[in-house]
Structure 1
Amino acid sequence: MSEKIALGNWGEELVAKKARCPKCKNAKTLKKLTQNFKCADLICDFCGFVAQVKTSSTNDINTLPNSILGAAWGPQKERMDAGIYTSLFVVLRSKSDKNYSIFFLPSELQVPEMFVAREPLSGNAKRAGWQGFLIDTTLVADRFVRLI
């Protein structure tokens, strides 16, 4: 397992363990979805709320990075075109110790401009043509809520 995948799994498990469901407010009801589930990582097994989790290693857990790597642009764009946005947890883990923070951005406070398509992978790449995206947090930084 790569370091990035391990970090992402850790962030998803942390949110499932520490955060209450933003919709129904129940504790311990957020569960991990299967790996590679498109545009979502957690589901509340009580009310059905879904969320995406992005985890980043940083020197400052108190400040959101200006951008965060998203995943596949195709599914994200299809959902956005249909008016569907997924709430977002951002987990920041300190590079120097075991401290962390969790930020939350509900789907209704997101804007299409915060999702920026990246260039498709070159023809020589292992997954040639695959296209990811970035999440530009600067456009909505004041809309995030710090949970932990």
Structure 2
Amino acid sequence: MNLKFETELANGYTSNSQIARVLTESWVKQNSYCPNCGEKPLNEFENNRPVADFHCLKCSEEFELKSKSGKFSNTITDGAYDTMIQRITSDTNPNFFFLTYSKDLTVDNFLIIPKQFFTPEIIIKRKPLSETARRAGWTGCNIDISKVSELG
């Protein structure tokens, strides 16, 4: 397994978040497999699909990737609260991949939390953005992984 990112894939990107997305999603596609059935490779969903980055053609499991430079803390920043709650309570709720990487763009940790351990209780609603914000009223969420059962 290669632990280094293919940095040339990020050529042309200037946003750090877009660079991280391109590099981490590429790494997962090249180095992971479906933990449910063993199928390799996983297939990517189109960009900007809510709470879904990959899926398995064989067993139809879905996966959301969360990545971060450095170590994960107990709380992981995520996107829109309502979207997350809708997805994790749906019939097609995703499993979660968590990936951390170092400043030298090497993968440090890659873990999987199965979908049955993602419940609304671990999703923390953030305060809505202020009236003066570009996206006024938008409400994000955090994932409190300390509330995930030890079995997960």
Please, which of 122, 129, 134 is the counterpart of residue 126 of structure 1? 134
Structure 1 residue 10, shift from structure 2 partner: 1.9
2-side partners of 1:77 and 1:97: how far apart? 31
Structure 1 residue 8, shift from structure 2 partner: 2.4
Could you tell me which runs of 5 or more consecutive residues in structure 1 were left unpaired when the two chains were aligned.
none
Greater Rg by CA? 2
Confirm whether residue 74 of structure 1 aligns to residue 82 of structure 2: yes
Which residue of the partner structure matches residue 60 of structure 2?
Answer: 48
Structure 1 residue 80, shift from structure 2 partner: 4.1
Larger strand proportion of the pair: 1
Query: TM-score, normalization: structure 1?
Result: 0.82
Q: Deviations over 1:93-133 (max 9, x none)?
A: 01355242211000012232111111111121111111111
Which residue of the partner structure matches residue 32 of structure 1?
Answer: 44
The question of whether the paired residues in 1 share the 8 Å contact of 2:65 and 2:99 is answered with yes
Amino acid at match of 2:146: T
Structure 1 residue 53, shift from structure 2 partner: 0.2
Between Structure 1 and Structure 2, how many residues are aligned?
139
Could you tell me which runs of 5 or more consecutive residues in structure 2 were left unpaired when the two chains were aligned.
1-12
The question of whether the paired residues in 2 share the 8 Å contact of 1:13 and 1:32 is answered with no
* Structure 1 residues 14-29: aligned runs within 5 Å: 14-28=27-41
Structure 1 residue 142, shift from structure 2 partner: 3.0
CA RMSD of aligned residues (A): 2.1
2-side partners of 1:114 and 1:138: how far apart? 8
